[in-house]
Structure 1
């Protein structure tokens, strides 16, 4: 089982990020769970979701031993960094998180300049998708094309397929930022 927490401010695509991850898991015929949590403020408030992707049954929607923490701001790191298991991944939005910030020594920290990369491909709303590209490349939880196809299917099902070309560009920018 892979446990993922996605966290940030409302309006940063946090809940959508979780949905794209479970779409990709469903495409692999895995069991999935998406458990959202957000403040009443919507934009600007906090938002997070627990995502589980498993070959077996999922007993609880709550993530306790986090493999991957996808964060889009500093407060998300403050809240969830201690829930990452040793050897797990922390994805940091280096566009807005202080570069001097210290992290646990027993986790893998991946810094992604999401805003700069999204601007480069002219998709300013695609910062979460940039981060997803980096996540897929660094963790290998999905094949590159497999996730891209699931993401496009997700947006098509939401009636937003017209953005798929720009979203794939954002995904590729994030994916290619990992060496």
Structure 2
């Protein structure tokens, strides 16, 4: 198994941490991983993306030109990465702020109302875990016990009390993701 993923959105949406948790989850599962972040000089509001590769075999290069999965959280990222999903691949997006929705017919498209779900939880910081849950529902490439270990590894010990809330957000995301176009 090898999964090449791009997660892209605005800084402050938890893009990089979502990728980090996914990468740590893969490590806990004994997989080879790469985590390659890219972000502008702005801390919040600028664009940010991270490429994560999880593989059962050694990864020859962290550079990816086409993705098995794209997780898109803003219009700029949709414009840049939607066309880079491999035919038969997956695109998951939150429609909040998306003006031009994906129209490709050769990929599987899923929509997750993560911003609305985070508002229902009264916790905007749960947004990225809701999105992660949607991804894991569509592509369960890491086991939930390893996601918990990934959360423990990526969060400082002083924030470990937030792990149950993060797990609840992941579950909500698993329940909230909806197919738009499935091949």
- Give TM-score scaled by structure 2 length: 0.89
Q: Counterpart of 1:160 in 2: which secondary structure?
A: helix
For 1:139 and 1:95, how far apart are their aligned partners in 2?
A: 22
The aligned residue for residue 164 of structure 1 is: 163
For 1:70 and 1:158, how far apart are their aligned partners in 2?
A: 28
Unaligned runs of 5+ in 2: 179-183
Change (3 A) 1:158 1:66: farther
Q: Counterpart of 2:65 in 1: which secondary structure?
A: coil
The aligned residue for residue 60 of structure 2 is: 59
The aligned residue for residue 101 of structure 1 is: 101
Aligned-pair Cα RMSD in Å: 1.7
Q: CA deviation at 1:6?
A: 0.7
For 2:110 and 2:157, how far apart are their aligned partners in 1?
A: 30
For 1:172 and 1:55, how far apart are their aligned partners in 2?
A: 26
For 2:146 and 2:12, how far apart are their aligned partners in 1?
A: 22
Change (3 A) 1:81 1:102: closer
Q: Counterpart of 1:16 in 2: which secondary structure?
A: helix
Q: CA deviation at 1:173?
A: 0.8
Decide whether the 8 Å contact of 2:4 with 2:53 is kept in 1: yes
Unaligned runs of 5+ in 1: none
Q: RCO higher in 1 or 2 (8 Å CA, sep ≥ 6)?
A: 2
Q: Counterpart of 1:47 in 2: which secondary structure?
A: strand
Q: CA deviation at 1:146?
A: 2.8
- How many residues were matched structurally? 177
Alignment of 1:146-157 (within 5 A): 146-157=145-156
